[in-house]
Amino acid sequence: MILLAFFLAHAGFMAFGLSMARHRRDLHLKPIGARRATGLRICGYGLLGIAIWPCWILFALSVGIIVWIGILSAAAISLTVLLAWPPFLAMWSKAFRLTASMAERLREAVR
């Protein structure tokens, strides 16, 4: 349930960010109209609001709100890292692919 809240919050922040022209430019996406931006903004706020539901189910409302705020913070930080550090993530992706290909070649050599 906590992961559900995290993914709902992550999707909410993503929708909210995609409603802003500046962030769409940063991601090299086409500009959108005001109506679609408003729809994305409402969807983002809705997803952020729905993310409190799993926290409320697992914990009482008083503790659930605190957990929800922590999940919102974690989702915002993870989205920031994913958007701000693409070269860093690409480096790790290349390292993972290199390691995987070396392991595959070693496995084929052993056969």
What does the pLDDT read at residue 89? 60
Q: Whose structure tokens read 């697992």?
A: 58
Segments making up each domain of the chain, as ranges: 2-84
Does pLDDT of 39 surpass 80?
yes
Does pLDDT of 38 surpass 90?
yes
Contacts of 45 (CB under 8 A, 6+ apart): 12, 16
Does pLDDT of 21 surpass 70?
yes
Distances (CA, A) of 3 to 62, 82, 96, 100, 101: 20, 18, 25, 28, 31
pLDDT band with cut points at 50, 70 and 90 for residue 105: confident
What does the pLDDT read at residue 25? 82
Pair of tokens at residue 52 = 């409190």
What does the pLDDT read at residue 23? 81
What does the pLDDT read at residue 63? 94
Q: Could you read off the pLDDT of 64-102 as tens digits, one per residue? A: 999 999 999 999 998 888 777 765 665 566 666 766 677
Q: Could you read off the pLDDT of 40-73 as tens digits, one per residue? A: 999 999 999 999 999 999 999 999 999 999 999 9
Residues 43, 49, 51: CA angle, nearest 5 degrees = 105
